[in-house]
Structure 1
């Protein structure tokens, strides 16, 4: 006998949320599967807050910085990236979550989730058409940047421990790698 897991649509997932079925659970929808999220540790929370604060000072009114809030993707997915840099103003998201066309780039902060962030999440974001994706490895203070999206995923992978990087959406901005990991 072959077991087949049920796939959930975004609409199904939203109905479960509205009905309160997921109230006591920290979950996200990835490719039709409801996935339990890893509890956020102290180092992760500290880095997320600091990175978001730093990006807000650099980007100003050019973008919104969304911390650990859902984004809606076309492949029956509604993950909650640690940081999403999205189009302003925030009123765009009064009646919906940000979608791929709203997203400049995404950041996941990895302490215990590195394998998932470099594997399943990277594939999910590439399939959804997210043009730039960053993974901050808290164990090594290394920033992995994925760019040059093709039909087969991200073609370019850059690893940095120091120096600066300019996001594709804002080439005039220089982000200090060391400030991300402060």
Structure 2
């Protein structure tokens, strides 16, 4: 843990138009994985547009590793069905964190990340200075599934005693 840079809080806001995996709906939950760390949201029953509004916090040692978000449909009697996944990286976010940003006006956009083949962004993602900290809002298009997007935002938490950025 000596090389811990800090914590990344991932606010998993909501799913948009997720795939149907049960009769005519799904019981979705999100799982976020980085290395051996794995966290999940609660299950939202019978909703293909679930609102989780949950924070999942990862310890970050290597900002170059991609983070994987997977959506599952909770099933009571069988294995949960996968409802798509999205990888995202935090390289641009960490770059923005390293800028000298003191004294910037509220809401200043530090960087924009455009959707590309290399990422799962459904729309342009802005990294901005909000409430005295850097945050990034993104809508991820799920892959390996017929449809669905997940809205998340990233926030950095500096840890006392960590290496920091």
Give the TM-score normalised by the residue count of structure 1: 0.30
Instruction: Give the helix-richer structure, 1 or 2.
Output: 1
Give the TM-score normalised by the residue count of structure 2: 0.32
